[in-house]
Amino acid sequence: MSELIVRAEKLDAADELAALRAQFVLDTVSDQAADAAGVYLDGNSLGALPAAVPGRVEDVVRRQWGALRIRSWDESGWWTAPERIGDLIAPLVGAAAGQIVVGDSTSVNVFKALVAAVRMAGPGRDEIVVDATTFPTDGYIAGSAARLTGCTLRPVTPAEVPGALGERTAAVLLNHVDYRTGRLHDLPGLTAAVHAAGAVVVWDLCHSAGALPVGLDEHGVDLAVGCTYKYLNGGPGSPAYLYVRSGLQDRFDSPLPGWNSHAEPFGMRPDYEAAPGALRGRVGTPDILSMLALEAALEVWDGVSIEAVRAKSLALTDFFLECVAAYVPVGRVESVTPAAHEERGSQVALRCDDAGDVMKRLIERGVVGDFRSPDVLRFGFTPLYVGFGDVERAARVLGEVVA
């Protein structure tokens, strides 16, 4: 037995989060072919299924919808689900209650937040700064928001943001963690720089929420959006969320003023009056089935410290990089994820010439990560259910595949 296997066993035995693994539906080595590792390292794309979700969804479908039908809007709490579930997400991103509403997709929420940010910035500010390395949809939405508001779009890298800000800057859209490389950007420092320029900042938390502390309230973030199907394990297509800092809520002017965000949603008035608080981030009828599946998924976070999750995340990614160095032939792969903890999210991206073929063969062997064109192997580490034994096996199989 190799020294790395022994160390993995000791690390798993000492892991304070190890018991949470039983709350998820996961393959085990015995479920796989004899030579397969059964390791899921793609939670940064789609989180694993929490074991409590199927039973909850069955209740929602059979009893709440099937038996109670329309009564469930009141009796089953459907109507208040967006803000109730938002309050479950709030502590995971460092926000007090009453500032997050769940609903719509990340793309729709980016659009709402960015247009509202420009409107809050006021006259004379006609430039939107966007992360040039962003996930493509954020860039598309930023371009559309710029055209709609009469702004100029200025793509720059996060490192260039402070130097790009000026009197014309209205809003800045940034990613907390780079989806391709796993680089963690400086949310406190960049937020402060945007505020010093008199602009409004919008953060995309898709690759950080549920993996590391965010500190929205602590750092004075204005607006933030995020998905719930990655580290929050809400399921495919689960609704996203929108954070509006409490001090800005009365100024939040949504470009999508739907009936669900009206002060009197059942008044059916022809004129629009925004609801108070974070509720004005709602638009139309919530996606109840996926929303309540998300609510059940979030139960795994009861009593879990996001600081403990971060500590394990860093330990997992450190150990993975060590195992890769031990098992993979020198020069075969190159990490593009920062080594410094303060610059690393919860994933490791490895550059590899034949990455597409390598990932296909890894998946055939039971090690599931993903491929990003043209040459990146991407591995996500979800501390709630990934163990150190998983990490060692994944690196060992990677070494065998690339050799």
Q: Report the distance separating Cα 113 and Cα 177, nearest Å.
A: 18
Annotated catalytic residues are 135, 204, 229-230, 378
**Residue 38 pLDDT class (50, 70, 90 cuts):** confident
Angle between helices 136-149 and 106-121 (to 10 degrees): 40
Q: Which two tokens stand for residue 236?
A: 């495919």
Look at residue 121 and tell me whether its pLDDT is greater than 50. Answer: yes
Q: What is the pLDDT of residues 124-165, one digit of tens each?
A: 999 999 999 999 999 999 999 999 999 999 999 999 999 999
Q: Which of 213, 153, 211 is nearest to 187 (CA)?
A: 213
Q: What is the pLDDT of residues 69-110, one digit of tens each?
A: 999 999 999 999 999 999 999 999 999 999 999 999 999 999
Q: Report the distance separating Cα 378 and Cα 180, nearest Å.
A: 7
Query: Is the bond leading into 374 cis (omega within 30 degrees of zero)?
Result: yes
Q: What is the mean pLDDT of residues 259-287?
A: 96
Q: What is the pLDDT of residues 191-229, one digit of tens each?
A: 999 999 999 999 999 999 999 999 999 999 999 999 999
pTM for this entry: 0.96
Q: Report the distance separating Cα 202 and Cα 133, nearest Å.
A: 15
Q: What is the mean pLDDT of residues 294-310?
A: 98
Q: Give the contacts of 46 (CB within 8 A, at least 6 positions apart).
A: 229, 230, 236
Q: Report the distance separating Cα 363 and Cα 182, nearest Å.
A: 21
Q: Report the distance separating Cα 96 and Cα 85, nearest Å.
A: 13
The answer to whether 72 and 78 have CB atoms below 8 angstroms apart is yes
What's residue 40's pLDDT? Answer: 97
Element (H, E) at 17: none
Q: Report the distance separating Cα 210 and Cα 122, nearest Å.
A: 34
Look at residue 251 and tell me whether its pLDDT is greater than 90. Answer: yes
**What is the overall mean pLDDT for the chain?**
96
